[in-house]
Structure 1
Amino acid sequence: MSRTLAQRLQALDEAVELSRDRSSAAVVDRAAAVVKRAGERGAFSGDHTVVALAGATGSGKSTSFNAISGTEFATTGVRRPTTSTAMAVAWGTELPGELLDWLDVPRRHLVPARRSAFANLVLLDLPDHDSTEAAHRMTVDRLVPLVDMLIWVVDPQKYADAALHDRYLRPLAPYAEVMIVVLNQSDRLQPDDLADAMADLRRLLDAEGLAAARLISMSALDGTGVPELRQLLAQAVADKAVVSRRIAADVTVAAEELAAELGTAPTPTLDRKRREPLVQALAEASGVGIAVDGVRDAWKLRGGVATGWPFVTWLARLKPDPLRALRLDQSDRRLAPTAVSRTSLPGASSVQRARLDRGLRELVDAASTGLPRGWAAAVRSAARGREALLMDRLDTAIAGADLELDRGTGWWSVVRLLQWLLMVAVVVGGLWTLFMMLAPALGLAGIPTVYWWGWPAQFILLAGGVLGGLLLAGLSSLGVSVSARAKAHRAERVLHRAIGQVTDAELIAPVEDELDRHRRAVQAVRNAR
């Protein structure tokens, strides 16, 4: 077997594996059988050439077998059918037992020949292909794909028989180079009639794609044409190329069938522009918008508690934290990592699911345009095969996204410290004022009043603390609102990125893998052809 043929077989084997469960099972199985058969044929007596004589009842096939082989092993006579089982005659020093076992030919004969031109030739006499016995026809159908070379013996009366041409010759057109057609019983025709019959048979063969098949006339009874046929067989044995040509034809036929299954249109290329609408639909269905609102509201709530006026922030603490309610709080995640594998985001609405379904359908349609039915179904399965777990994957991605809510809060501590200082000022000022009001009643009327900038110091502490706290709280609230919007925008980007990663892993990648598989199958078939 040549290196090129070995590479073609390897390519065909790759195409078979890539096409399995996507192309017609019968076509794939036939191609796989070619690869298997080629390997087995090479392992069983690769030096031998197997030639089979096939023909219809009454064509003189068995007589031709004896004439070609120079033996009387084939039974001839008027009883039909004469050949009931396949018989083999081998030339050489010993019978190729493993090869004949593989061919399952029970009747075997050895013609001792060390230097004969037929050395390493195995000649098979097949049952009649038109036998009334079904077992005989099955034997022919089983052995025709296994032999290296075929000799079809026809007679002047039935050389145009439809059973022969429709069932065997026309389907075997790709094997014309390893096929010989013999018009037997030429002794029964006048020279002009023989010439007309040969011309008509040649025309039939050419019309059926068998132009490369050799055609000779022969009379097994008087020996006309027998030496020519024996010379053709000797050449086939000598050049040792028949086996490779037969396997090469098998590969070509199988590759052509697989090519038809793969279609003629180029493999679609998935447009990345279709990804964004799908990501957007998945984001809506998985509750990204609710999560973003939760980030903004939670930031405002937490920032307000941290920077607001301490005398009223306790009211804000009574409000539920939006992120904790959604189970998206990162501080909880650090404390209990396993507790955030799921969020509490609501499920997708019917409208959101309809948009998602439309996005998936558009993705499948774009990815399967021009593909044969089996491959289109594989693309559809790749896109929707993980649909049942898709929402879980999206929820996990949202739960695992780093929203960075623990960053950007440094200024909150500064504001909180200032608020507490101002609150101390309010408390001190309030107590001082109360003390000054009660001092006369306590007999402490002589305590002097301290003035700052022309105002009682306790009043400055009290009013300044209240006004400063409220002003600082207002400015801080504005800062918290601005930063909340920024946090929400960033959270939206982060969550969309997480949704995009899930989209790529669960939807885009499987579809692209399937398209790449089709692309590689096309290339493998091209290499096999």
Structure 2
Amino acid sequence: MKVLRRPKAAPLDARLAALSEAAGLADGRLAPVAVERAEDVVARAGARSHLSVEHTVVALAGATGSGKSSLFNALSGTSLAQVGVTRPTTSTAQAAMWDPEGAGPLLDWLDIPRRHTVDGTVHATANGNKGGADGSLSGLILLDLPDHDSIEAAHRLEVDRLVSVVDLLVWVLDPQKYADAAVHERYLRPLRRHRDVMLIVLNQADRLSAAAADRCVRDLRRLLDEDGLPGVPMITTSVPEGRGVAELRSALVKRVADRRAWAARLEADVERAAVLLAAASTSPPPTITEPEAEQELERWAEAVDDRAPGELERRAETAEKAVTTELSRPLTAALAEAAGVPLVVEAVRKGHRHRAVVATGWPVTRWLRRLRPDPLRRLHLAGAAAAAGGRTSIPAATGVQVSRMETAIRDVGSAASANLPEPWAVAVRAAARSRADGLVEALDRAVAVTSTGATRRPRWWRAVGLLQWLVLAVTLAGAAWLTVLFALDYLRLPEVPTPTLGTIPWPTVLLVGGVLAGLLIALLSRLAAALGAARRARKARRALWQAVGEVGNELVLVPVQDELRHARRFAGLLTTAHG
């Protein structure tokens, strides 16, 4: 992955906070190896920043026979390190301290048991002669590490541990092993983002002629460029001749005086962790095998374009908008069918007409309608149970309906994740199904609560019902009048004068007119009820669709949107962490 340097980097604290949050978002979604690296960096940064920032921990690392122990002795003006040629002589790291005050907790954290305080008079070696006093290395903690190619596995593990935490790395190479793949592939290439806290020393230059030394330097520079370490300071040294030792000491003096090596190291660690998270967000993890783990991780990270976080952020934002504008309606349609919305809408239509007939029909015959069950009550969509959101009696969704619902949910996940990198696409698809188990119950409850308004009685029903009873009373009055007239005639009593409407007696008018009026009112009421039922069914359909849509939004779309927001937030945090 090619690193683009920005002229102004975010503060270290902001980058660490961004990396920590990004690791939290990535946990459970991306490759654990990348998340663990990020969490380790955050933890290590927290620990190092609370230890002495007045001290700079510099490690001399190298292969067997590279002369790093001799260089350690030359820089410290001591003979602390045992010098060997053909076998590892440094079994555990040891520290030389120029200013021990306050260094104890830092060395405890580094787990360095062998500690030595260098006299305030620092001896510079030049051409085999001892120089004068120099106190400018105050604050330096110089570590002599075991050989990274030691035959002892414990030595190699100790090197790996300390290389990952020290403030400044000085790689001591020699003319025979400077091109060894062990150091380039295992250490230098994976640490190419740490070039600001790295020095390269080509030691034992006294073994080469001037021309050979020049060729060796050029070849080493080429290898470093291939490792992604262009411009890393390189110093040629020879301890016996005192060549380059003063130059190396001057470089260390500058780094120690700056008191920023520890922060630069952490910034490089944060950048590398951010790159690994970016790799994890765009591709599956590599097969990690020791001792090639670092190389595998670097090859994994190299395959990622540095624009990946920005592209992920853009795609997640586009998908998030599509969820609300394009995916909601087909999901709602499938859920509505599975929830029995068409059945409920038809029940609302029939139930309205049923109750209209009971309320406004001719009182003589309306009792027959009461023998029929109310369609809404039959589905438990009326009364207190529905108002309380209890279970309904809507038939369970058929296999076809369930299949359509599941397909709609999968379609939401697939459409929302179509343009995302596979790790985040997997997370989005899983989010779409994460709450699917509660859909059936939630849909049933939403339908029950929404349907409670479907039994509300229009006001005109009461007026028409009273009118029907009035008409019935008139009809009964006419029938009673005719009955009285019939009885008087049957008993041969004197005839009672009967008023007429034209030529028709009023009792007959009342009886026949009442019956006809009652039937006419019932017929007109049925027509009005049919229109009202259609209107109420449409209203119920809209309300049910809205309720079902809210359930689908809460249980399917919101988890998907949350996951897309996480992806977008994650991408933005990576940009900040990268610096």
Q: Tell me by how many angstroms 1:274 deviates.
A: 1.8
Matching of residue 287 in structure 1 with residue 340 in structure 2: yes
Q: Which secondary structure does the structure 2 equivalent of 1:142 belong to?
A: helix
Instruction: Report the CA distance between 1:361 and its aligned residue.
Output: 1.7
2:181 matched residue in structure 1: 162
Q: What is the deviation of 1:93?
A: 4.7
Aligned to 1:97: 104
Structure 1 residue 446: Cα displacement: 3.2
> Does residue 273 in structure 1 map to residue 273 in structure 2?
no
Alpha-carbon distance, 1:79 to partner? 6.4
Q: Secondary structure at the match of 1:88?
A: strand
Match of 2:73 in 1: 66
Q: Which sits farther off after the overlay, 507-516 or 348-357?
A: 348-357
Aligned-pair CA distance for 1:118: 1.0
Q: Does 1:41 align with 2:48?
A: yes
Write the deviation string for residues 260-283 of structure 1: whole angstroms up to 9, x where unpaired.
223334324242222111101100
Instruction: Please give the alpha-carbon distance, in whole angstroms, between the structure 2 residues aligned to 1:437 and 1:77.
Output: 143
Q: TM-score, normalised by structure 2?
A: 0.88
- Specify every segment of 5 or more residues in structure 2 that has no aligned partner in the other structure, as ranges: 1-8, 122-133, 283-307
Structure 2 counterpart of 1:405, from 441, 446, 454: 454
Query: Which residue in 2 is equivalent to 1:113?
Result: 120
Q: Does 1:312 align with 2:365?
A: yes
1:130 pairs, out of 136, 142, 149, with: 149
Q: Equivalents in 2 of 1:182, 1:460: separation in Å?
A: 125
Q: Do structure 1's residue 328 and structure 2's residue 381 form an aligned pair?
A: yes
Q: Match of 1:401, SS?
A: helix
**2:226 pairs with one of 207, 219, 227:** 207
Render the CA deviation track for 1:373-421: whole Å, top value 9, x for unaligned.
Answer: 3322221221111111101111111111155335451111111111111
Paired residue for 1:484? 533
C-alpha offsets along residues 240-295 of structure 1, whole Å, 9 cap, x if unaligned?
12112111111111111112223334324242222111101100000011111111
Matched position secondary structure for 2:172: strand
Tell me if structure 2 keeps the 8 A contact 1:262–1:522: no
What's the TM-score, normalizing by structure 1?
0.96
**Which of residues 395, 399, 408 in structure 2 aligns to 1:359?**
408
Secondary structure at 1:405 match in 2: helix
Over 3 Å counting, the alpha-carbon distance change for 1:215 and 1:469 in structure 2 is: same
Separation in 2 of the partners of 1:241 and 1:44? Answer: 13
Which of 193, 196, 199 is residue 174 of structure 1 equivalent to? 193
Partner amino acid for 2:496? I
What amino acid is the match of 1:274? L
Q: Which amino acid aligns with 1:39?
A: G
CA shift at 1:172, angstroms? 1.2
Q: Is the 8 A contact 2:352 2:529 kept in 1?
A: yes
Tell me the residue number matched to 1:432: 481
Identity of aligned residues (%): 48
User: 2:100 and 2:34 mapped to 1: Cα distance?
Assistant: 40
State the Cα deviation string for residues 408-454 of structure 1 (Å, max 9, x = none).
51111111111111111221211221221221333423322232332
Alpha-carbon separation, structure 2, partners of 1:294 and 1:259: 55
Q: Deviations over 1:51-76 (max 9, x none)?
A: 00011111111111101111111111
Unaligned runs of 5+ residues in structure 1 are none
Distance between the aligned counterparts of 1:497 and 1:95, measured in 2?
Answer: 67
> Contact conserved, 2:146 with 2:158, CA < 8 A, in 1?
yes
Contact 1:93 1:113 in 2 (8 A): no
Aligned length: 524
Alignment partners' CA distance in 2, 1:295 and 1:373: 46
Does residue 238 of structure 1 match 2:291? no
Range with greater deviation from structure 2 (478-487 or 95-104): 95-104
1:301 aligns with 2:351: no
Contact 2:378–2:393 (CA under 8 A) maintained in structure 1: yes
Q: Secondary structure at the match of 1:362?
A: helix
Q: Is the 8 A contact 1:59 1:155 kept in 2?
A: yes
What secondary structure sits across from 1:77 in the alignment? Answer: coil
- Aligned mates of 2:10, 2:498 — CA distance in 1: 112
Match of 1:463 in 2: 512
Q: Which shows bigger deviation, 317-326 or 109-118? A: 109-118
Structure 2 match to 1:139: 158
Compared with structure 1, are the counterparts of its residues 204 and 79 closer, same or farther at alpha carbon in structure 2 (3 Å cutoff)? closer
What is the RMSD of the two structures over their aligned residues, measured on CA atoms?
A: 1.7
Aligned pair partner of 2:15 in 8, 30, 33: 8
**Aligned partner of residue 239 in structure 2, secondary structure:** coil
In structure 1, the residue corresponding to 2:11 is in which secondary structure?
A: helix
Q: CA deviation at 1:159?
A: 1.1
Find the aligned partners of 1:153 and 1:412 in 2 and give their Cα distance.
99
Alpha-carbon distance in structure 1 between the residues aligned to 2:329 and 2:496: 76
Do the aligned residues in 1 keep the contact of 2:74 with 2:239 (CA within 8 Å)? yes
